[in-house]
Structures are given as structure tokens and as C-alpha cells.
Structure 1
Amino acid sequence: MAAFHHISLLTKDSHENVRFYTEVLGMRFVKNTVNQDNHRMLHYYYGDYQGAPGSVVTFFIVPHLGHRYENKNFIATIGLKLPQNSLDYWKERFIHYSIDYTINDRQIHLFDPDQVEIILTETDLPPLALDHQVKNEVPVDKQILGLNSSQIHVNDPQATSDFFETFLGWTTIDQRIQLNATDFLEILPTETDKPSHMGRGSADHIAFAVTDDAALEALHQRAEKQGWQIEKIVSRGYFKSLYIREPGGNRMEFATLTPGFTIDEPLEKLGESFALPPFLANQREEIEANVYPEK
């Protein structure tokens, strides 16, 4: 079965971002690190207690970031799944925090501080396993389970659907790829040729889970053979990744399940210090000195 690994976006304000995802949504701040492609940019990760693949939302911190323009192609929405019988709790929580929301059946729609649409969907799933529960005020039987959905917006949905079908064997039915029993990806049409511009709340990529290095290398070889637009295959320390541009121009990542976030911090201390994977550790002084300053 297919599954999400994480989704990565851009934010302007690290403090607002941390407050919303940890205090309001109750996710754990599992990693404070750096964008490995631009060491001036901080990279924050949120997830369940383990930072397990499929639970993770990440943000690149870009102070003074401008408005985003979503036109020809873009990725939108963070869909998150809730355990059974938790919808009323979350409605009350958002009222407490004075956050506007709308209800659609078993879904709550709201926006984060960068105007990213968040969709919380109540499922029939049980709560998080004990070792994945975050230690905070959100009751353990109400905590967010992980990623549930996202949207790819493109000029030619058929070409993007064909990419997923040919490359991965994932079928699109009624604009939707059903990854597993609960999780799905939507492929939706745009109606302009005007270019999109990244800004506050833009999604940089969606990442899908791959079992291990061997499976990732097999994907890499298949992508080369089929002629897809490969950006790179690279170790991020916490996982190994293959980046491909789907035909509509959006970045897709395929990331391994291991080794995970405990390679540079113990599990109980995740997110408490500025972490660098081993291959960047000897550049710590330079990296820390050159991070983009915030206000």
C-alpha cells in the first residue's frame, strides 16, 4: 500500500508556525535543523512523538517571504486524520483559540497563520499507539494521527495522472488517487498559463514513503528508464530521497522510512536543540552564523 512520508512548505514566521502546529494542533516539534539545499534557511519538522513517516509536516523558515501566487501549478492543502469520536473536541479547541473554521460532514476546514488550508478528517481509526502519543494537553484519544490528503493542481491533470500510473501503478479515479484505506491525493485542473510564484504558505513538495534504499534505487532506475524529470537522489541523513518533477511541474519526493530522526538526537530530546545530521556536523559554526535573521 502507498503512503505519505511528509509534506514540506514555506513559512515567514517561525514563532507563529511553532505555536500553531505544536500549541494549537498538538503536534510534536521533532526537528530543528537546516535546509540542506540552502544552509541559511531553517527547517522545522512536526509530527507524532516518534516523528514517524506519514505523520510529518515540515516548514522552511524564510523571513520577509512575500505573498504566494498559485496559478499554473501548485500543491495545496494539508489533510490530517483524526481518530474516531474526536471531531467535537477539535471544534471546541478551535473556538477556544478563536480560529475560524467550517464543517463539512466529518471534516473541519481552517487555515494556518500562512493561510495554508488545513483539513482535519475524523476517521474510524483508533487513537495513536502509546509510543506515538505526544506528551501535551491534547487528550491521547483525540490527537492527530498523521497525514491524510493533499492536492496537486496542474494544467493537464491527465498527464500527471499518467505519470503516477506509469511510474508507480497508482490509478486516478474521479481526480483522486487512493493511496490506502484512508489517505488520498487529488489531481485538480488549473485554468491559467500564468506562472506560479512561491511565497508564504507555498508547498515545496509532497513526499511519499519508500521502504528502503534498495526500493528507492529501483525507483530511481525506473524513472531514468521511463524518462521522467529527475532532480536528484540524495541522502538527507534522516532518510534518503529521490526528487522528481511530475509533468505539471510540481516537485514529488520519494523518501525512505529509515534511519529516522534519532541519528543526531535521542528520542526523548527531539526538537530541543539545533540538530545537524552527521555529514553537516563539522559545519555547525558556519551554518549557525549565517542563518537568515528573523525580526
Structure 2
Amino acid sequence: MFPPIHHVSLLTRFAEENQFFYTNILGLRLVKKTVNQDNHKMLHYYYGDYAGTPGSVITFFVVPALAKRYDNRHFLSTIGLKIPKGSLIYWEKRLKDLHIPFIKEKDTLHFKDNDQVNLYLIEVEQEPLKDELQVKSSIPGNKQILGLLSTEFHVAEPEKTADFFFQLLGWKNTDGHIRLNKTDFIQLLPTLTTEKTRMGRGSMDHVAFSVKDENALDSLYKKAKEQEWNIEKIVHRGYFKSLYIREPGGNRVEFATLTPGFTIDEPLNTLGETLALPPFLEKNRAEIEATIYKEK
């Protein structure tokens, strides 16, 4: 069974700090360095396991002039990450040795990245990554992050967001908790202010859920239209095909296919080493490279 959460996408200001944190500290691989397909000036980094498997991927849009974020009326927050059973002590020591402040609660470690993104690591009953998915790093293969576990929807009326997920996907809400499988889930949390949210450093732009293939995505698109949800667009990103919807609380939700994956424009063994462009953007490489925001 494929993982329910395909990826999460956020905003960062400093490319170098972001890349150091997610590769050197968390041990993920930079599997794709490309551009935001809706704004080619903006770099787009993808981190994940060695192959960038759906369910392992965290992405960041790099925006050098990005200001402070304001999480108010509606926003997405928090990245839960799974680690193998018996690896918590290793990660506790690693964070301590690397001077990353954290709070420990039972089998969970809570901490933040440089953009003040809330993250946590939690042990789950799951086998370590397969050898071919392990990243070549200082972190032992049997201690490496397994993938995404959870995220949070902060909305004014959680019951309306819950109804969206139930009507479109049949996902049941229990006291603000939507269980996706034995380990993975999303939480619906009420916000208590009418102040407008402002995107900024560390804002989560969207959470993407996995869809098996393009046929299944097209069927979901048809169902969403019939149910009259707020559809933004359906578009092929090259690495996957995506459907974007604004759930009733105002947060962006993406549904993304499992294939074709990140090797359509570069080999597996050199993923993320140079600026990659999917085939439909490659013809514009010179123009795109000339206008990209400089990395900081």
C-alpha cells in the first residue's frame, strides 16, 4: 500500500541553511533542485530518501526576500517524521551533539528548523529503510528517517474541513484526528482569531496526498467538480500529475500521482546535483537560469 501523504511543501528564505539542515542534520537527500513551475525565478528543493520516494519528500520554495510569517486564521503546520523502533536514543544524541534544541516527550523529539518550522521525530513499528532507499550519510541506515507521518490543519471551522475529507475521500474524523493508516494521520485544530494569515519564512504552502495513477486522479477531479469544491487547477508537473483544491478552511491541498518520479530528467545516482528541468521546461533553460533569484 502506498503512503497516504505524498509530500509537504514549504517556504524558506536561505537556501544554504535550508539545505544544510535537511541533508547534514536530518540526513535526507537533495533529490531535486528545480524551479517553481508557477514562478520560474524561484528555486524549488526536494528532499527525501535516496530515490525521493513518495511519502518521504519535503520540498521548499526558496524566496530570498521572504519576510516573517503570521499564522492566524488558517494555516498548515508541523511535519511529523517516522523513525525506526529503537532509534530514538540515537537521534536524541545526534540533536544534542549538533546543538539543535529539542523537547522530548516519551518516544517523540520536538524541534524546529532555521525557518521555525515545527518538526518531530517519533518511533514507529516499521522496518528500517530498504538498502536501495538509504542515503549515503553519517546516519546509519537502520536509524534513518522513514518518511512523513503527519501534519496539522489549523482552521476556523474544523468540522467543515472534516466534511471535505469525508465527502471527497471517505476519511473519518474522530475528535479532530483523521487516521490515514496504522501510523499516519492529520490533525484538525481550531484557530481563535479572525486576523489574516500572511505567508512567510517556514509557511507550509500545501500538503499533498498520494493518488495511485492518472486515471485515479482524473476520477478524483471529476468527483471534486461534482461536489463543487474549490478547485484551483489540475496540472502535470513532470514528476507527477497534481490536482489542487482549497479546502473549506482556506488551506491548499494537493493530490499527486506516484509516478513517473524524479528520474525523468536526471539519473538516480546524480539526483539533485545540478539544476533539473522537466522536459517541457528544458527548452527555456537559458531564460530560466538567467532570471532565477540568487541563492543565499
Counterpart code for 1:138: I
Cα deviations by residue, 1:110-137 (Å, 9 ceiling, x for unpaired): 0000000111111121100111111111
Shift of 1:174: 1.8
Shift of 1:204: 0.2
Unaligned segments of structure 1, at least 5 residues? none
Shift of 1:184: 0.4
Unaligned segments of structure 2, at least 5 residues? none
2:262 is matched with 261
Counterpart code for 1:105: K
Q: Secondary structure at the match of 1:258?
A: strand
Cα deviations by residue, 1:119-165 (Å, 9 ceiling, x for unpaired): 11111211001111111110001000000000000000000000000
Shift of 1:99: 0.6
Shift of 1:64: 1.8
1:239 is matched with 240
Mapped to 1, the partners of 2:88 and 2:220 lie a distance apart of: 38
Cα deviations by residue, 1:84-120 (Å, 9 ceiling, x for unpaired): 1000000100111101000111100000000001111
Count matched residues. 295
Shift of 1:40: 0.4
2:183 is matched with 182
The CA RMSD measured in Å over matched residues stands at 0.8
2:168 is matched with 167
TM alignment of 1:97-136, pairs within 5 A:
97-136=98-137
Cα deviations by residue, 1:11-33 (Å, 9 ceiling, x for unpaired): 00000000000000000110000
Q: Secondary structure at the match of 1:287?
A: helix
Q: Secondary structure at the match of 1:257?
A: strand
TM-score (norm 2): 0.99
TM-score (norm 1): 0.99
Counterpart code for 1:288: E
Cα deviations by residue, 1:52-76 (Å, 9 ceiling, x for unpaired): 0000000000002100000000000
Cα deviations by residue, 1:219-243 (Å, 9 ceiling, x for unpaired): 0000000000000000000000000
Shift of 1:293: 2.1
TM alignment of 1:119-158, pairs within 5 A:
119-158=120-159
Identity of aligned residues (%): 58
TM alignment of 1:75-86, pairs within 5 A:
75-86=76-87
2:65 is matched with 64
